[in-house]
Amino acid sequence: MSINEFLLPELDEESKKTRTTLERVPADKKDFAPHPKSMPLGKLAAHVAQLADFGLIILTTPELDFSTGSIKSLVFESPGQLVKAEGAAKVRAALKAGSDGSFKENWKLSFQGKTIFEGSRFLAYRQMFLNHLVHHRAQLGVYLRLNEKPVPATYGPSADDKMGF
């Protein structure tokens, strides 16, 4: 079995859970932040929706320098807009097209020439994209809870979605 055949079901599951979470983001709470150092809800939700773009870059380019401004920030408008912007289908197509050899290739993330990450494309995909997505989606779940919105089931039932499985 190829590497991408192992990764595709995981991407599909994480994408489904992400869409469900984004659907529940309250449009009227975009400025909510649980702490002064925390990202506002609207910005966090937009970041979660846009992370698939980063995954696509990892799978299709040898590197990214954030200072080039090639990723334009998504501005939160509505939950529907976030779901529509979430680009898992493009990541899925790139993942499906990848070869085992491509996952062994070097991938680099930098800012103004200073290295932030350098390692195999496989590691970049898992750490910089997929784990990053899961981390911020979990943060978003806390924001939902703090705003009395139902938290979707992810790796088991939530207090709100006991029948989610």
CATH number assigned to the domain comprising residue 11: 1.20.120.450
Q: Is residue 156 part of a domain?
A: no
Position 40 scores a pLDDT of: 98
Position 69 scores a pLDDT of: 77
pLDDT tens across 42-84, in order? Answer: 999 999 999 999 999 999 999 999 998 778 889 999 999 999 9
Q: Is residue 81 part of a domain?
A: yes
Q: Is residue 53 part of a domain?
A: yes
Position 161 scores a pLDDT of: 80
Q: Is residue 55 part of a domain?
A: yes
Rounded to whole angstroms, what are the CA distances from 32 to 22, 101, 116, 134? 15, 44, 29, 21
Alpha helices, H only, the chain: 3-23, 41-60, 79-85, 88-97, 100-104, 121-123, 132-146
User: Based on the structure, what is the number of domains in the chain?
Assistant: 1
Position 165 scores a pLDDT of: 52
Position 163 scores a pLDDT of: 63
DSSP secondary structure code for residue 67 in this structure = G
**Residues of the chain below pLDDT 70:** 163-165
Q: Is residue 160 part of a domain?
A: no
Domain that holds residue 104: 3-146
Q: Is residue 125 part of a domain?
A: yes
Q: State if pTM tops 0.95.
A: no
Q: Is residue 152 part of a domain?
A: no
